[in-house]
Structure 1
């Protein structure tokens, strides 16, 4: 039964924005998109699967890096158009830049300042 998928208010492109939040700390790790298949796979596997708009394909988070996101909870917002995942971030790295999360730039005095260190060089994570 996929009635629960029909409750989601998908965009015209068949996507829904997704926020990944760290289980335990509630820190926002990243923002991504899902289509119906990605959300269904996330539920079925217990690990986050997203839709990569740049690659135009499903993307199992951690498929290359090993930094998978184990899903603890899935929530839908009041307008039914944003999904919130509470995840355990395996390896402690959510961002492809090798940082803990994707929100490592902070606006200070009208300038973007990087305030998080690189935990692991992306060249060591991704073998392209």
Structure 2
């Protein structure tokens, strides 16, 4: 049987983000119109707070160990229109309007290849 904290997190109205042992949540950015998956990244409490304050997607860079605003160097910002929260509040979907390609490679989405057997094949639009 679920305890009251679990019930509140899974069925209540309070936003109680459940960060992992490293203080992170998984965040998937999807295009607000097409619903295409654009990228996956991680958010710590600071990134989540800055995203909510500014309307621009902020993430925690695991490789650099610091906060980054998507687009801060490229100009390809992700403007957040909505934040969807999963059932146990440990993952988010950011519905965004991209201002340019979402992927650092210049592709519109980071998910521009699919697995075909043991080979990666570029996805055609």
TM-score category, normalised to shorter length: 0.7 to 0.9
The 1-side partners of 2:65 and 2:117 are apart by 37
Partner of 2:30: 21
Partner of 1:110: 118
The 2-side partners of 1:60 and 1:107 are apart by 30
1:109 CA drift (Å)? 3.1
Partner of 1:45: 54
SS at match of 2:60: strand
SS at match of 1:13: coil
Runs of 4+ in 1 over 3 A off after TM superposition: none
Contact 1:23 1:88 in 2 (8 A): yes
Q: What pairs with 1:74-89 in structure 2 (closer than 5 Å)?
A: 74-89=83-98
Q: What pairs with 1:88-107 in structure 2 (closer than 5 Å)?
A: 88-91=97-100, 93-107=101-115
The 2-side partners of 1:23 and 1:17 are apart by 18
Question: What's the Cα RMSD here?
Answer: 1.4
Contact 1:99 1:116 in 2 (8 A): no
Unaligned runs of 5+ in 1: 118-128
The 2-side partners of 1:26 and 1:75 are apart by 12
Unaligned runs of 5+ in 2: 1-13
- The count of residues paired between Structure 1 and Structure 2 equals 112
Please say if 1:68 is aligned against 2:77: yes
